[in-house]
Structure formats: structure tokens, C-alpha cells
Amino acid sequence: MNSISDREWDAAAYDVLADPQRTWGRAVLDRLPLRGDETVLDAGCGAGGLTAELLERLPRGRVIAVDASRQMTALTRERLEPRFGPRIRVLTADLSSLELDSAVDAIFSNAVFHHVADHRTLFGCMYRALVPGGRLIAQCGGGPNLVTVRAHIAAVAANDPLLAPLVGWDGPWNNADADTTAARLRSVGFCDIETSVTPAPVPFADTAHLRAHLTTIILRSHLHLLGPEPAQQHLLDGVIARMAADQPPLTLDHWRLNISARRPAA
């Protein structure tokens, strides 16, 4: 079960279970116009699956892949350095205090920003990481993301003494709305801003697959907070039972915040 620190992810398990994130990420890549010779920051690269697809779109370019989790950056390095050599550089760092040696032409980010508490500080760092005229194209949880699942977590926790540490806690996420995000991007200097929040429900064929996804991705921080195994099982059992009774059943009610912005040309 989950014994790693809250900053850490089980990178190998994530890589196997992250099909929804990969599907979303490919749509984000399609929104990023590239000549093929740029240097692009992958902000929150995770296990590196999408980083590889980004590099394939940059035959003469480079990617700087940054993630706060050492397990994630270790797996990304192991997979991508032999294949892409000097065209990939992997850094373990917090995006909210990121300082690069030289600015990048564009920033790609998929399923990351809702894990960051202070978006204004984050966007300021992203702005300073870009060359004048450079683009930020990103997607993350936003708006009513996982409202149903969050209600299930609260209901299960309220009725089980083992889950007391979760009572009153709405999870580790910062699901911002489109207008607030646009205002924050504008406040740090971005222009040509487009933001939207769109539904992206993810159904699961059976409880085993849902349980694995919840354990490694969605409830990672909750399970870490709970600590002992019996409490973790209570949470997973309770949430899955409620999700089985939902309409549609066994479906994560994801909503995605889509971001497109540009640093003004000098």
C-alpha cells in the first residue's frame, strides 16, 4: 500500500494506470504549435510517457522535464536519456520556485497545476521561464473536478472513526475556475489568454481497475494521511461501494481546466 511520502508517487504504478492522463495529454500536445526545433519545458513530467511524445514532435529540439517527485524523475531519466540523449534534461524541482538557466520557447503541462496550492506564484514562475513570445499550454483539474468523489470521501469519513483524519479535509487539490485562472495569468503578465473548464468523465470497467487507479492516483494523499492499512482499506471499500451505486457507476467525475496563454513579445 502507500508508504511513500506525500510528495512522492509510485512512478511505475502510475505509468501503468495513467491511461486517462495520457489521453488528455495528447489533446494538450495537439494544442501546442511547434516547428520542431524549440526547447520546451514539460512542467510536471510524471513518469515521462508524454515527455517522450513531446520529444517526438521536436526532432531538432529539446525538452526540459521537471517534476517534484524523485521517483517520477528517476523513471523519466531511465526511460528517456538512452533514447533521446542530450535532447532531454530531467530536473527534480518544485515548479513554484523553478529557476531555469535559460528561458524556454514553450511550456507544456498536463494534469499537474491542480496539485499546486498557489497558482499566482506558479504562473509567475512559468512566465519567467518563457522567452518573450513563448506559449504556455496546459490542462489540469478545475471547476467542479471530482465533486461526486469528494462527497463520497466526506460521507465515508464521517461515518468511520478510523477515517477521522480526513474529516473536514477536501483533499490536496486546487481546482480553480476558468475566470479566476484567466485573471491570475493576466496579473503576472500573460496575454492571449484562453481558459475553459470541460467535463472529462472516466468510467472503469470493474472495481479492481478503479481500486488500483484510486490507490495510486486519486486517493494517494488521503491514503498517505491515514497511514495504517485497515484505515486505507476502509476508505477504498467505502468510496468504491458508493461509486458502484452512482449513475453512471464506477465513474470518476473529472472536469479539466484548459489553459492557453502567451508571454508578450519583447
**Buried-state track 186-197, b at ≥16 Cβ within 10 A, e below 16:** eebebeebebeb
Nearer to ligand SAM, 17 or 162 (CB): 17
Q: Is 115 in the site for ligand SAM (CB under 6 A)?
A: yes
Nearer to ligand SAM, 13 or 163 (CB): 13
> Can you give the chain as a three-state secondary structure string?
CCCCCCCCCCHHHHHHHCHHHHHHHHHHHHCCCCCCCCEEEEECCCCCHHHHHHHHCCCCCEEEEEECCHHHHHHHHHHHHHHHHHHEEEEECCHHHCCCCCCEEEEEEECCHHHCCCHHHHHHHHHHHEEEEEEEEEEEECCCCCHHHHHHHHHHHHCCHHHHHHCCCCCCCCCCCHHHHHHHHHHCCCEEEEEEEEECCEECCCHHHHHHHHHHHHCHHHHHHHCCHHHHHHHHHHHHHHHHCCCCCCEECCEEEEEEEECCCC
CB of 115 to ligand SAM, least distance (A): 4
Q: Is 123 in the site for ligand SAM (CB under 6 A)?
A: no
CB of 67 to ligand SAM, least distance (A): 5
Q: Is 50 in the site for ligand SAM (CB under 6 A)?
A: yes
Q: Is 46 in the site for ligand SAM (CB under 6 A)?
A: yes
Contact with ligand SAM (CB under 6 A): which of 69, 76, 145, 181? Answer: 69
Q: Is 257 in the site for ligand SAM (CB under 6 A)?
A: no
Contact with ligand SAM (CB under 6 A): which of 6, 19, 37, 94? Answer: 94
Nearer to ligand SAM, 45 or 55 (CB): 45
Q: Is 127 in the site for ligand SAM (CB under 6 A)?
A: no
Q: Total residues at the site for ligand SAM (CB under 6 A)? A: 21
Contact with ligand SAM (CB under 6 A): which of 20, 44, 61, 141? Answer: 44
Contact with ligand SAM (CB under 6 A): which of 32, 41, 58, 72? Answer: 72
Which residues of this protein are in contact with ligand SAM, per CB under 6 A? 9, 18, 21, 25, 44-46, 49-50, 67-69, 72, 94-96, 110-112, 115-116
